[in-house]
């Protein structure tokens, strides 16, 4: 993966297309976007200030347009409330807060069916309307059953959040963290390195079976197991004479390296005890020994 960075992907991708072209694969990351329908977000919508248990419920049977906007119902003193398009003076103001930096008052209609006229309460129906007075959202106002009513007070705010489908201006931004190595864990894993078979005896089950006697003994090998992805293996005799060096570079799935029991000059080694040192750059060194028995 490349260095840590920020990627952008436009919403023009078809979120139902699981067979994306390679041009949508960036540094090994493939994107799958799932579009959402525009709807009232009942989990995110809530009283942001105040302790009222009033419920603002979406009227799913409505003919409203379900516009992708967010709103706030700001409870006020009756004298400071707004007048609905059907001429009801209410104890709240309705604001469009889709852009928090530029909120503006939103038109609404109210069916004031509750006991207290001019107060948003049980049984009311709030209709958010466009500049042309077309319904965009319809909400029913209620309280939970079998609970004491806690009415909202001036200064309380209920935020209406809508879930929004993608449009041409949407951009998804995320940050990826580059690969890193846990040095302490990597050093501890060096202790898991070992040689197989040990001791090496004239024939071992890792070697290819030879059916033609004229081929001679065939392949001879030992394996160094549980290696780091990148390392070098240096092999010495007990007297410290250099025998062979193996450079190991592999994927995470291949953590072993084989040696054909030949010296750097291509000669078969003699029986005896040998020492090895596995050096992993930036991690450490693991030493060990193994025996070769004739």
Q: What is the largest CA-CA distance in the chain?
A: 109
State if pTM tops 0.85. Answer: no
Q: What is the pLDDT of residues 25-84, one digit of tens each?
A: 566 677 677 777 888 999 999 999 999 999 999 987 777 888 999 999 999 998 889 999
Q: In angstroms, rounded to a whole number, what is the distance separating the alpha carbons of residues 52 and 71?
A: 18
Q: Could you tell me if 51 and 84 lie in one domain?
A: yes
- Same structural domain for residues 61 and 126? yes
**Ranges under pLDDT 70 in the chain:** 1-28, 31, 114, 178-183, 185-186, 202-218, 252-254
- Same domain assignment for residues 150 and 254: no
Cis peptide before 197 (omega within 30 of 0): yes
Domain extent for 24: 5-35+170-176
Residues 65 and 96 in one domain: yes
Q: Are residues 156 and 249 in the same domain?
A: no
Residues 122, 80, single domain; the answer is yes
Q: Please report the pLDDT score of residue 5 as a whole number.
A: 42
211, two tokens: 């059916």
> How far does Cα 245 stand from its chain's mean position?
42
185: exposed, middle or buried (Cβ count in 10 Å: 0-12, 13-18, 19+): exposed
From 95, 128, 163, give the residue that closes a domain: 163
Total number of domains constituting the chain? 3
Residue 8 has a pLDDT of 45
pLDDT for the residue 99: 93
Cα torsion through 129, 131, 132, 133, rounded to 10: 30
């Amino acid at each position: 993966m490349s260095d840590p960075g920020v990627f952008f992907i436009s919403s023009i991708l078809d979120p139902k297309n699981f067979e994306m072209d390679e041009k949508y694969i960036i540094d090994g990351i493939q994107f799958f976007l799932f579009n959402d329908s525009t709807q009232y977000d009942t989990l995110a919508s809530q009283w942001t200030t105040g302790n009222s248990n009033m419920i603002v419920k979406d009227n799913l049977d409505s003919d409203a347009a379900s516009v992708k906007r967010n709103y706030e119902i700001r409870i006020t003193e009756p004298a400071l409330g707004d007048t609905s398009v059907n001429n009801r003076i209410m104890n709240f103001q309705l604001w469009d807060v889709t852009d928090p930096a530029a909120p503006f008052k939103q038109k609404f209609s109210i069916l004031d069916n509750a006991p207290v006229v001019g107060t948003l309460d049980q049984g009311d129906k709030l209709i958010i309307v466009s500049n042309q007075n077309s319904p965009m959202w319809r909400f029913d106002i209620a309280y939970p059953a079998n609970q004491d009513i806690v009415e909202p007070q001036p200064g309380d705010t209920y935020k209406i959040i809508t879930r929004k489908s993608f449009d041409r201006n949407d951009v998804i931004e995320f940050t990826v963290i580059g690969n890193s190595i846990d040095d302490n864990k990597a050093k501890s894993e060096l202790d898991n390195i070992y040689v197989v078979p040990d001791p090496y005896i004239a024939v071992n089950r890792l070697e290819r079976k030879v059916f033609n006697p004229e081929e001679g003994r065939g392949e001879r090998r030992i394996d160094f197991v549980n290696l780091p992805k990148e390392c070098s293996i240096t092999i010495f005799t007990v007297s410290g004479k250099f025998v062979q060096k193996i450079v190991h570079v592999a994927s995470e799935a291949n953590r072993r390296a084989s040696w054909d029991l030949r010296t750097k000059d291509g000669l078969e080694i003699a029986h005896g005890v040998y020492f090895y040192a596995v050096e992993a750059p930036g991690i450490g060194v693991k030493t060990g020994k193994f025996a070769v028995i004739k």
